[in-house]
Amino acid sequence: MSTTAIKIDDPTVFHLEEEPHHEEGSSTMLGFWLYLMSDCLIFAMLFAVFGVLGGNYAAGPGPKELFDLNLVAVNTAMLLFSSITYGFAMLAMDKDNRPQTLIWLAITGLFGLAFLGIELYEFGHLIHEGATPQRSAFLSSFFTLVGTHGLHVTFGIVWLVTLMVQVGLKGLIPANKRRLMCLSMFWHFLDVIWIGVFTFVYLLGMLR
């Protein structure tokens, strides 16, 4: 009796009876992918705004006076390292190796924090030099675009820590694996957006 009660309560039972080849959570991945695509549209709009306003310095400082490419290169490396370490976490998850998964997730989080720290240092440096978001349309759109990306990374780290606690408490259960896979997509997606940022904002900014 108890098993039938559980089966009735469990929505996946109905799902499996209708479509035996579908595994639980496959629709979650598609749904999360659609969220990422809509997030991509947000960033596309911010890139368009930066593309339109990026040359309006209002007689203020331009990219050449403000940006330090060495710092951006280090930042890019941090995000790239965090991407590969997250990949290693996923590989450890595939092997159901909980300690290794947690270690790689922690390293990913540290790289993410390093990225945020460098970005905040850069922002602080700019604001200290008087290059605030209010200074010119170029700086407004710069802070909006790069700041939105930084905010995404911040939430990614909060999510990462949450999942580390979840995995620590409940182990690598299917639900946690699914969540880790969603965060994996989110994290790699942020790295893809960063490619656009360092190319169009920093590198092409230096060539303007």
Partner 1 sequence: MSAETNDHSPDTQHVDHLGHEGHNHGSFRSYMIGFVLSVILTAIPFGLVMTGVLPTQATALLVMAFAVVQIVVHMVFFLHMNSKSEGGWTMLALIFTIIVVVIALSGSLWVMYHLNANMMPATHDMSQMGG
Residue ranges that bind partner 1, judged by CB under 8 A: 21, 23, 26, 29-30, 33-34, 37, 40-41, 44-45, 47-49, 51-52, 69, 72-73, 76-77, 80, 83-84, 87-88, 90-91, 93-95, 181, 184-185, 188-189, 191-192, 195-196, 198-200, 203-204, 206-207
Question: In this structure, what is the dihedral angle of CA atoms 188, 190, 193, 195, given to the nearest 10 degrees?
Answer: -60
CB closer to partner 1, 57 vs 198: 198
CB closer to partner 1, 138 vs 189: 189
User: Measured from the CB of residue 83, what is the shortest distance to partner 1 in angstroms?
Assistant: 6
22: which DSSP letter?
A: P
User: Measured from the CB of residue 71, what is the shortest distance to partner 1 in angstroms?
Assistant: 12
CB closer to partner 1, 120 vs 195: 195
CB 68 within 8 A of CB 122: yes
User: Measured from the CB of residue 19, what is the shortest distance to partner 1 in angstroms?
Assistant: 11
User: Measured from the CB of residue 179, what is the shortest distance to partner 1 in angstroms?
Assistant: 13
3-state secondary structure 59-126: CCCCHHHHCCHHHHHHHHHHHHHHHHHHHHHHHHHHCCCHHHHHHHHHHHHHHHHHHHHHHHHHHHHH
Q: Half-sphere exposure of residue 30, counting CA atoms within 13 Å on the CB side? A: 6
